[in-house]
């Protein structure tokens, strides 16, 4: 019983008064602090701030207008009145109890009524929800919502309400039964005034009828330009005839942001391998035809071209069962199929299957199969399944130079391209092979991929959850303990001071202790790469202790994206309310973003000796709609509107398919350890409210663009294009808007980071891994596949994703090995560690709250990893040479089988196998519980030989196109060497530096004719422009292996062994550069048809590749 006497307890009376006084005082202090805080320039005064819908706590009294229209002052008065009512009722009760004899039960009832009445009123006022008043004038974002208060805490106290990241309920047009089909209502165009030249022609296009204005305002007059840029390239442009400064960025992608990479060599039209024709029946259309096959590569005939200020549509018929590849970034099979919609709009989203995700690459390859008649004429074969037929393939490519949001509709007989702006700027590449197309694409448009430093090809270890330098040291030590190679340790956002770029947490990742750790790491020839996010924390103006110099310097440099009224745009990301560097304004109009970024990188590099940079959140991501922080900086730092992995309500409980069956003990242990967390999570979670479906649609506005809600709604994962992104009307210095440049934010932050690292590491090649990419990003950076899941399906999807990025010119690609989201297990991680060992970028990474998945966690994974890593580290010289060839010639590193064997149509869908270069084929096991894998051995029709990597024997008894069952027990990944190749090897070490100092070996895999060829590239492994390089050419033929060095780079490692495969008869003698070798140096295996030369090192005291041409012969 609370009170057993006739008058109230003195202790209770005192406590009640004190508690209430603290509540009122706390809120008054909050308001007083906010009133005396100097507002940022351009922001609303505290008493005029707009509101946001969300409940608030007792210390979260807003500086905004109340839902019922109450001013803050009146709100305070009412709260004080509630307290006075409490005191009055309490005093009344006390007097009543003193004058009368009141029973205990009555005493308690009166007291409870008084307390209940006063507290109810107080809580009703204190927790009353706030509503949305709309967009403050001049701020970016439709219906921007804001909330303000003051906090002096340096850790996130306030959680941003989920409602701030909810946009309009937009129904994509491709799913909208009410959507108008432009082909049914738009008139198309008519061509006139055609002007011919040697290298092409031009024409005027005029609207062929009344404007349809279906998803924008029709452009009445257009210009057509057709240029034959080389014998194998055609450029077709359609753009408005009248473009001025006021609308230039609506239609044209500036050369400054996306420069063409080579000088054009205009040929005469008659030399082209492609022909362009046009007609006006019934409206203008154009057709691109390949002369050699006489088939139509692209034609708009049968459809109309729609060209509006916010919508472009054009399309082409395609042959039956077409084979298209590219159009990314998306998680999908390698061959695209003929019933899907590709959306190109950079989105901050996990690896959702068949949705738009991080990058944008509007390019595709189209491969077609033909048979040849007696007179040489070619006939297209839509279903080339006859393995006895002789097929020949031709591949062409199409690239749309357009950075606006796009959709590509692939249907059974046609492709339809839609864009929310820009121009029709098409580039056609004749091929005729896929490799030819990709080379032309890189040389003409996007640039050649960056040459990587040698060490970047080693193994990388990361996770979100390495909490301090000691944890990193423990990981490094464990790799050494279990003799697993480790090249680079990474940190996610854990290292940051409250998730802020360019600042380490002073306790967990202090600079002094970090210097000790990194010094030791570098002394062991290992490396460190930290993450850097794309948004910059905006410090709390009401807290003098919340100092963040990078922000202040950025403001002084005019480095950040703006609102339409010229004030700074404030979104929200990990650290709280943030600003965003204005890369577009920096390139186009002199914003200081790039110089500021370089300066910050330089200053931070002097505190943290990193070796490369990992760029994240660069789509760019923002966790709220519009400039939500403009009136709310006094809340900073704030917690995102969602739970982080591992927090109550968001536990990481997922495991791979089949986990509970094959890993019962591990599953039981995991289940037991998580029971208390599950209970806590359940207690804090809430059920979503019931909703009704009502879709938001807009119509074109005559004479203007509706960029916040474009009339055509793309099939964006987040729906409204303002959600989880910068608002479309966010403004860059010079006046350009985000709507026109959203898809290249990630591209340009890679550009800025590349320039910064050139300053940090003068003369060295920058190492950058970025999340959001665009056409041409490969010349600056590599890419990882994003937030995949610890599932077998995602291990499979990593292969087509990697092959697609080969098309996109970004060979430095890998995925989060063993999976990022969810928990991995021993079987999945064993298989994945082995698969990723043959990807160019090899990194293990997982999420906060998930179980550890470093390869040393499970015994079976240790064994599997070391097996695959041994092969990878042997192949490092071969892989490095592949990158040098890509950087020089535009060739690919990771390849699809169909590219190397283009005349085998049954390989068109092959994406469960791949080639590393032209010599190494990998056939991984991708199915849980399986101990075998099905694979094909291509090229048998042309006499190709394949050798098993492990026992070095030739594969026999296989038919052309046959799917063969191959043994693949856990811990074994089938790898094959293609005949006709010479592969340079080095004895593997624990680091790439150790491997580079080890002896050489050569693996010579002869084809059926006894030939084999290969290359090796050498330099110092790091210089942007090496002082010395060397190319070595290997040629095996007629019983001789000829080694031809060319260059000045000096490598002193000896050649230790040479293994020749496919030698049907034992030689009687073997000679090294004309000198017969004693039989102790060589041996022949008749069972394997193998000649092995060993212990050659003493014969190369000055290194294997110095001097002139030399040879090894056998006879």
According to DSSP, the residues that pair with 1044 across neighbouring strands are 1033
Neighbours of 107 (CB within 10 A): 22
Told to judge if 218 belongs to the known catalytic residues of this protein, a careful annotator would answer: no
C-alpha distances in Å from residue 810, one per residue of 345, 396, 841, 850, 890:
19, 19, 11, 30, 10
Burial classification of residue 443, based on how many CB atoms lie within 10 Å of its CB (0-12 exposed, 13-18 middle, 19 or more buried): middle
Q: Which of 787, 904, 911, 1019 is catalytic?
A: 787
Phi, psi torsion values for 377, nearest 5 degrees:
-70, 145
C-alpha distances in Å from residue 546, one per residue of 146, 497, 500, 540:
21, 12, 12, 6
Tell me if 533 sits within 8 A of 493, measured CB to CB.
Answer: yes
**Helix, strand, or coil (residue 934):** strand
Q: At what angle do helices 593-605 and 745-760 cross, to 10 degrees?
A: 50
Tell me if 493 sits within 8 A of 501, measured CB to CB.
Answer: no
Q: SS3 letters for 450-497? A: CCCCHHHHCEEECCCCCCCHHHHHHHHHHHHHCCCCCCEEEECHHHEE
What is the strand order of the sheet 414-419 is part of? Answer: 306-307, 312-317, 414-419, 406-411, 340-344
Q: What stretch of H or E contains 448?
A: none
Tell me if 96 sits within 8 A of 102, measured CB to CB.
Answer: yes
C-alpha distances in Å from residue 722, one per residue of 91, 145, 286, 718, 858:
55, 13, 36, 9, 44
Q: Give every CB contact of residue 677 below 8 A, 6+ residues apart in sequence.
A: 648, 651
- C-alpha radius of gyration, the chain, whole number: 33
**Helix, strand, or coil (residue 1097):** helix
The reply to whether omega before 860 is within 30° of 0 (cis) is: no
What is the rounded CA–CA span in Å between residue 902 and residue 651?
Answer: 47
What is the rounded CA–CA span in Å between residue 1074 and residue 733?
Answer: 70
DSSP 345-390: --------BTS--S-BEEEEEEEEEEEE-TTS-EEE-SS---TTS-
Q: Give every CB contact of residue 102 below 8 A, 6+ residues apart in sequence.
A: 6, 96, 110
Told to judge if 1019 belongs to the known catalytic residues of this protein, a careful annotator would answer: no
Told to judge if 483 belongs to the known catalytic residues of this protein, a careful annotator would answer: no
Q: Which of 611, 619, 825, 1051 is catalytic?
A: 619
C-alpha distances in Å from residue 445, one per residue of 235, 383, 808:
11, 33, 11
Which of 947, 931, 887, 936 is CA-nearest to residue 911?
Answer: 936
What residue spans of 766-875 are helical by DSSP H? 792-807, 826-836, 859-874
According to DSSP, the residues that pair with 406 across neighbouring strands are 344, 419
**Helix, strand, or coil (residue 399):** strand
Which of 767, 757, 752, 753 is CA-nearest to residue 453?
Answer: 767
Q: Which of 348, 533, 616, 1007 is catalytic?
A: 616
Residues labelled catalytic: 616, 619, 787
């Amino acid at each position: 019983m609370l009170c057993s006497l006739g008058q109230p307890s003195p202790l209770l009376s005192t406590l009640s008064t004190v508690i209430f006084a603290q509540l009122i005082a706390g809120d008054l202090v909050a308001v007083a602090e906010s009133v005396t805080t100097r507002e940022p320039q351009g922001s609303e005064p505290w008493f005029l701030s707009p509101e946001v819908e969300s409940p608030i706590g007792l210390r979260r009294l807003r500086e905004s207008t109340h839902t019922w229209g109450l001013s803050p002052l009146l709100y305070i008065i009412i709260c004080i009145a509630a307290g006075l009512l409490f005191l009055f009722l309490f005093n009344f009760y006390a007097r009543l109890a003193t004058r009368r004899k009141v029973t205990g039960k009555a005493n308690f009832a009166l007291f409870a009524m008084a307390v209940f009445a006063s507290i109810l009123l107080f809580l009703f006022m204190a927790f009353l929800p706030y509503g949305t008043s709309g967009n403050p004038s001049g701020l970016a974002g439709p219906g921007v919502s804001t909330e303000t208060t003051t906090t002096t805490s340096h850790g996130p106290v306030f959680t941003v309400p989920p409602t701030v990241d909810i946009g309009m309920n937009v129904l994509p047009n491709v799913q909208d039964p009410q959507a108008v089909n432009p082909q049914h209502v738009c008139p198309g165009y008519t061509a006139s005034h055609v002007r011919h030249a040697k290298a092409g022609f031009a024409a005027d296009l005029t609207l062929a009828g009344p404007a349809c204005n279906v998803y924008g305002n029709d452009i009445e007059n257009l210009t057509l330009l057709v240029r034959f840029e080389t014998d194998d390239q055609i450029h077709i442009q359609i753009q408005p005839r009248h473009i001025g400064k006021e609308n230039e960025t609506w239609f044209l992608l500036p050369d400054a942001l996306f420069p063409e990479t080579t000088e054009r060599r205009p040929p005469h039209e008659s030399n082209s391998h492609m022909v362009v024709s046009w007609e006006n029946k019934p409206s203008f259309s154009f057709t691109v035809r390949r002369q050699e096959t006489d088939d139509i590569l692209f034609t708009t005939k049968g459809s109309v071209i729609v060209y509006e200020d916010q919508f472009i549509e054009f399309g082409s018929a395609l042959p039956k069962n077409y084979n298209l590849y590219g159009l990314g970034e998306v998680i999908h099979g390698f061959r695209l199929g003929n019933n899907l919609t590709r959306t190109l709009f950079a989105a901050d989203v996990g690896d959702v299957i068949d949705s738009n995700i991080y990058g944008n690459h509007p390019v595709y390859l189209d491969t077609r199969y033909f048979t040849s008649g007696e007179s040489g004429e070619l006939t297209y074969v839509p279903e080339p399944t006859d393995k006895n037929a002789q097929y020949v393939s031709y591949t062409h490519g199409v690239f749309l130079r357009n950075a606006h949001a796009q959709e590509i509709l692939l249907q059974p007989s046609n492709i339809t391209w839609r864009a929310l702006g820009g121009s029709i700027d098409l580039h056609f590449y004749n091929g005729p092979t896929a490799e030819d197309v990709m080379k032309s694409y890189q040389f003409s448009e996007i640039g050649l991929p960056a040459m990587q430093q040698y060490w970047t090809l080693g193994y990388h270890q990361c996770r979100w959850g390495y909490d301090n330098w000691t944890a990193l040291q423990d990981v490094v030590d464990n790799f050494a303990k279990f003799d697993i190679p480790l090249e680079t340790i990474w940190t996610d956002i854990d290292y940051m001071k409250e998730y802020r770029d360019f600042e380490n947490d002073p306790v967990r990742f202090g600079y002094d202790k970090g210097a000790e750790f990194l010094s030791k790491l570098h002394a062991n020839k290992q490396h460190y790469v930290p993450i850097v996010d794309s948004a910059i924390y905006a410090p709390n103006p009401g807290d003098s202790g919340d100092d963040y110099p990078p922000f202040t310097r950025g403001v002084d440099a005019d480095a950040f994206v703006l609102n339409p009224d010229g004030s700074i745009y404030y979104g929200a990301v990990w650290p709280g309310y943030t600003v965003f560097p204005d890369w577009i304004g920096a390139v186009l109009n002199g914003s200081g973003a790039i110089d500021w970024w370089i300066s910050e990188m330089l200053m931070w590099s002097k505190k943290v000796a990193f070796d490369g940079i990992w760029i994240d959140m660069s789509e760019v991501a923002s966790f709220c709609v519009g400039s939500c922080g403009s009136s709310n900086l006094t809340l900073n730092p704030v917690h995102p509107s969602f739970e982080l992995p591992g927090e109550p309500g968001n536990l990481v409980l997922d495991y791979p398919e089949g986990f509970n069956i094959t890993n019962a003990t591990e599953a039981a242990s995991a289940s037991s350890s998580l029971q208390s967390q599950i209970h806590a999570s359940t207690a804090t979670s809430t059920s979503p409210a019931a909703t009704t479906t009502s879709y938001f649609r807009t119509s074109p506005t005559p004479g203007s663009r509706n960029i916040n809600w474009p009339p055509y709604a793309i099939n964006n994962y987040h729906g409204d294009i303002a959600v989880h992104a910068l608002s479309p009307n966010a403004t860059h210095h010079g006046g350009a808007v985000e709507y026109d440049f959203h898809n290249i934010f990630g591209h340009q932050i890679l550009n800025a980071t590349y320039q910064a690292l050139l300053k940090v590491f003068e003369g060295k090649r920058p190492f950058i891994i970025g999340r959001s990419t665009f056409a041409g990003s490969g010349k600056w950076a590599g890419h990882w596949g994003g937030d995949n899941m610890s599932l077998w399906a995602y291990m499979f999807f990593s292969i087509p994703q990697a092959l697609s990025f080969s098309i996109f010119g970004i060979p430095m690609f890998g995925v989060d090995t063993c999976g990022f989201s969810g928990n991995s297990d021993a079987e999945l991680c064993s298989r994945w560690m082995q698969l990723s060992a043959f990807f160019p970028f090899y990194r293990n990474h997982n999420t906060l709250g998930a179980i550890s998945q470093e390869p040393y966690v499970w015994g079976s994974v240790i064994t599997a990893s070391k097996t695959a890593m041994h092969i990878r580290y042997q192949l490092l010289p071969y892989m490095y040479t592949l990158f040098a060839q890509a950087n020089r010639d535009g060739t690919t590193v990771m390849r699809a089988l169909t590219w190397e064997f283009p005349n085998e149509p049954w390989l068109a869908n092959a994406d469960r196998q791949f080639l590393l270069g032209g010599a190494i084929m990998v056939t991984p096991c991708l199915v849980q519980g399986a101990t075998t894998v099905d694979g094909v051995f291509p090229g048998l029709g042309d006499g190709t030989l394949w050798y098993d990597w492990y026992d070095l024997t030739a594969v026999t008894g296989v038919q052309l196109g046959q799917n063969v069952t191959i043994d693949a027990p856990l811990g074994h990944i089938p790898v094959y060497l293609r005949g006709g190749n010479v592969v340079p090897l080095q004895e593997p070490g624990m680091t790439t530096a150790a491997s580079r100092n080890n002896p050489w070996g050569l693996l010579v895999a002869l084809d059926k004719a006894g030939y084999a060829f290969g290359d090796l590239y050498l330099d110092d492994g790091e210089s942007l422009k090496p002082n010395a390089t060397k190319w070595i050419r290997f040629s095996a033929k007629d019983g001789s292996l000829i080694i031809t060095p060319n260059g000045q780079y000096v490598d002193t490692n000896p050649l230790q062994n040479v293994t020749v495969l496919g030698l049907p008869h034992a030689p009687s003698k073997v000679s090294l550069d004309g000198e017969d070798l004693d039989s102790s140096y060589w041996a022949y295996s008749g069972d394997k048809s193998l000649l092995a030369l060993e212990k050659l090192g003493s014969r190369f005291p000055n290194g294997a590749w110095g001097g002139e041409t030399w040879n090894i012969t056998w006879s």
